[in-house]
């Protein structure tokens, strides 16, 4: 399902916001960032201690999903909207030298930062490539697991994203994500506002519709958990949270 948001304007707003996330992580945003939030969401201190601090500084995820992903040594992971790389680094630790991680992002500054940090930190099993989460350019049947954190809500056509996930996954492969959904459908005044989309609010799908979009792509939803520790920080974002039930969830789905 597509929406009436201007896709070109939205892409520009999203790139601008996440360019700032990469280059100025201590700026003002609608959302929290950094290590304190990551720990509160559920990331293990031991894992974060092994991840480049600059990647954690620019971490703008909305939840924790690695307990659902169940990554193992030797597996291949694709991260949709990999940003400055924090989740790719955590995945790298879990799949080990015999595994591989592919980060896909559309923002040059995020990719540059992640590549620089991976090289400096000796993360030889990670590669990053420029692409869209609806059309990654990664070969079909590549992934044992696809991960994503707070990114799919930014896509105007989520059905295309989940079809791409299904294409990327091997049979039996897993989709493990955190994202923003709503209890009630958002009005057009919010949905058509590219600023609110870029802030991870305007593009949030109603929870039941989100589930239907996952299953329509041929994936079976196995688990859906609320992330009550995630919160928006701007007044405008908090207002939307109260009015429409905007919230973070973590999801596990399987390709049969």
For the chain, give percent helix, strand, coil, nearest 5: 40, 25, 35
CA distance 185 to 196: 14
Side-chain-side CA neighbours of residue 34 (13 Å): 8
Q: How far lies 200's CA from each of 18, 69, 81, 152, 183, in Å? A: 11, 23, 13, 9, 15
Backbone angles phi, psi at 189, to 5 degrees: -65, -30
pLDDT 10s digits, 132-184: 999 999 999 999 999 999 999 988 899 999 999 999 999 999 999 999 999 98
Convert the pLDDT of each residue in 65-82 to its tens digit.
999 999 999 999 999 999
Q: Kindly tell me if the per-residue pLDDT of 113 is higher than 70.
A: yes
- Look over the chain and give the mean of its residue pLDDT values, rounded to a whole number: 89
Residue 252 pLDDT > 80: yes
Quickly list DSSP for 31-80. Answer: B--SHHHHHHHT--HHHHTTS-HHHHHT-------HHHH---TT-EEEEE
Domains of the chain: 7-255 (3.40.50.150)
- On the CB side of 8, CA atoms within 13 Å amount to 0
Query: pLDDT tens, 232-250?
Result: 776 777 777 788 888 999 9
User: pTM, whole model, 2 decimals?
Assistant: 0.90
Tokens of 118: 């991976």
3-state DSSP call for residue 98? coil
Return the pLDDT at 154: 86
Rounded to the nearest angstrom, the gap between the alpha carbon of residue 44 and the centroid of all alpha carbons in its chain is 18
Answer with the residue of higher pLDDT: 154 or 104. 104
């Amino acid at each position: 399902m597509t929406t009436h948001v201007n896709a070109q304007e939205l892409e520009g707003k999203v790139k601008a916001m996440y360019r700032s996330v990469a280059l100025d992580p201590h700026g003002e945003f609608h959302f929290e960032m950094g290590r304190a939030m990551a720990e509160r969401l559920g990331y293990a201190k031991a894992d974060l201690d092994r991840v480049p601090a600059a990647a954690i500084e620019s971490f703008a995820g909305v939840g924790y999903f690695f307990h659902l992903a169940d990554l193992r040594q030797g597996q291949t992971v694709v991260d949709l909207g990999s940003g400055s790389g924090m989740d790719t680094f955590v995945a790298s630790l879990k799949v080990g030298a015999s595994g591989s991680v592919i980060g896909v992002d559309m923002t040059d500054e995020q990719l540059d930062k992640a590549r620089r940090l991976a090289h400096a930190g000796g993360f030889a099993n990670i590669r990053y490539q420029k692409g869209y989460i609806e059309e990654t350019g990664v070969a079909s049947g590549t992934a044992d697991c696809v991960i994503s954190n707070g990114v799919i809500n930014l896509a105007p056509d989520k059905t295309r994203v989940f079809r791409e996930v299904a294409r990327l996954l091997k049979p039996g492969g897993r989709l493990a994500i955190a994202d923003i959904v709503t209890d009630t459908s958002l009005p057009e005044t919010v949905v058509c506002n590219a600023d609110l989309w870029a802030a991870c609010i305007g593009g949030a799908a109603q929870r039941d519709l989100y589930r239907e979009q996952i299953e329509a792509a041929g994936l079976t939803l196995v688990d859906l958990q609320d992330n009550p520790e995630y919160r928006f920080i701007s007044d405008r974002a908090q207002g939307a949270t109260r009015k429409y039930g905007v919230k973070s969830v973590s999801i596990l789905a399987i390709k049969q």
